[in-house]
Amino acid sequence: MPDQSPAEQQLARLLVETLNLEDMSADDIAPEEPLFGDGLGLDSIDALELALAISQKHGVQLRAEDEQTREVFFSLRTLSQFIEQNRAS
């Protein structure tokens, strides 16, 4: 399993804390594993909660109507890269 970057590690911790994933640690989330479906198993409610937490922590807006959002939420790595590229200064 590829190692998480520092930004991915921070995002994984946010994901575990926000979604109360009690049986999982941030280190358990593979950077390229899908977050939804057969991967981590998140659902649309989880996506909304996570988008709100990301907005509050990083100032990055993720909008449901944006066609790119599905691609952004594919994995920890794609989500982390999007945040880094769009972070409020």
In a domain, 86, yes or no: yes
CB 79 within 8 A of CB 73: yes
In a domain, 28, yes or no: no
pLDDT tens for 68-86 read: 888 999 999 999 999 999 9
Alpha carbon distance 44, 81 (integer Å): 21
Q: Highest mean pLDDT: which of 38-42, 57-61, 67-71, 78-82?
A: 78-82
At 26, list the tokens.
Answer: 């941030």
In a domain, 7, yes or no: yes
Alpha carbon distance 76, 20 (integer Å): 17
Q: Residue 68 has what pLDDT? A: 87
> How high does pLDDT run on average in the chain?
91
Q: Is the pLDDT of residue 6 over 80?
A: yes
Alpha carbon distance 14, 1 (integer Å): 20
In a domain, 26, yes or no: no
pTM here is: 0.89
In a domain, 27, yes or no: no
Alpha carbon distance 7, 71 (integer Å): 18
Q: Is the pLDDT of residue 28 over 70?
A: yes
In a domain, 62, yes or no: yes
Question: What is the number of domains present in the chain?
Answer: 1
Domain that holds residue 6: 1-13+33-89
CATH number at residue 69: 1.10.1200
Question: pLDDT-based confidence at 64, cuts 50/70/90?
Answer: confident
In a domain, 59, yes or no: yes
